[in-house]
């Protein structure tokens, strides 16, 4: 067993909440989500797929210009091959860094599956090898999980049920997982449509409960150690 320091939430002493979005950038949903966030006056964290950042660099630049935090979500959303480098996260981060000019500080594992095996290769293999291992131990790179999953990727889940789910689970330091994209290109036009419909109401509900929506970089993060069988 190996241990990996990860973050699922912020401090329970602070009444704030972070919004996060995975699998973008998405030319259909991400601009709409950015419009809503601007209208509501709040920021979020976008965990981007590297190859998709390469496809839509103008959206990445807009995310950055509007004050949001950008994290890495691997280069291809998993699917490592024994015939290819294992550096899914480094490759993805490099794509983002070429566009933003800034180092990627946060990474999130696709599907939050730390022990998943892709073609015989541990999905998080490079987390235990240089240079990511050293960066993670020094907290230069933070492996992010979440404490509330909206299940917005699950298309049969109706918007009212997603909102109710968040409302029941809401807590100090919550990190909420949503999606502005899809791991599959054919689903980009439809997959995050319900997330777009939900977002304004979600933000309103959170604020009505007395929580502040804070950027992930502003949270006092709580680290825990996850054991992973390599």
Return the structure tokens found at 17.
Answer: 């909440």
Reduced to 3 states (helix: H, G, I; strand: E, B; else coil), residue 229 is: coil
User: Which residues neighbour 29 within 8 Å (Cβ) at sequence distance 6 or greater?
Assistant: 180, 181, 188, 191, 192, 193, 195, 196
CA distance 50 to 54: 6
**Is 179 an annotated catalytic residue?**
yes
Place of tokens 């330091």: 173
Handedness of CA 154, 113, 17, 56 (dihedral sign): negative
Whether 77 sits among the annotated catalytic residues: the reply is no
From the candidates 22, 118, 152, 180, give the one annotated as an active-site residue. 22
Given 23, 87, 179, 180, which residue is catalytic? 179
| Three-state DSSP state, 224 | strand
User: Annotated active-site positions, please?
Assistant: 22, 179
């Amino acid at each position: 067993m190996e241990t990996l320091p990860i973050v699922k939430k912020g401090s329970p002493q602070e009444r704030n909440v972070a919004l996060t979005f995975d699998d973008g950038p998405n030319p259909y949903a991400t601009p709409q989500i950015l419009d809503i966030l601007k209208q509501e006056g709040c920021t979020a964290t976008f965990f981007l797929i590297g190859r998709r950042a390469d496809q839509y660099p103008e959206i990445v630049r807009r995310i950055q210009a509007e004050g949001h935090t950008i994290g890495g979500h691997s280069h291809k959303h998993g699917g490592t091959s024994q015939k290819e480098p294992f550096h899914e996260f480094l490759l993805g981060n490099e794509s983002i860094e070429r566009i933003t000019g800034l180092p990627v500080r946060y990474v999130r594992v696709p599907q939050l599956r730390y022990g998943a095996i892709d073609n015989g290769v541990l999905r998080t293999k490079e987390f235990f090898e240089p240079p990511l291992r050293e960066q993670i131990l020094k907290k230069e790179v933070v492996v992010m999980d979440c404490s509330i999953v909206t299940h917005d990727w699950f298309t049969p889940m109706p918007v009212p049920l997603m909102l109710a789910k968040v409302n029941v689970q809401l807590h100090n330091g919550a990190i909420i997982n949503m999606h502005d994209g899809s791991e599959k290109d054919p689903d980009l036009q439809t997959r995050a449509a319900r997330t777009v419909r939900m977002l304004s109401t979600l933000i309103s509900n959170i604020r009505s409960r007395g929580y502040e929506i804070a950027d992930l970089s502003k949270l006092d993060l709580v680290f825990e150690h996850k054991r992973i069988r390599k």
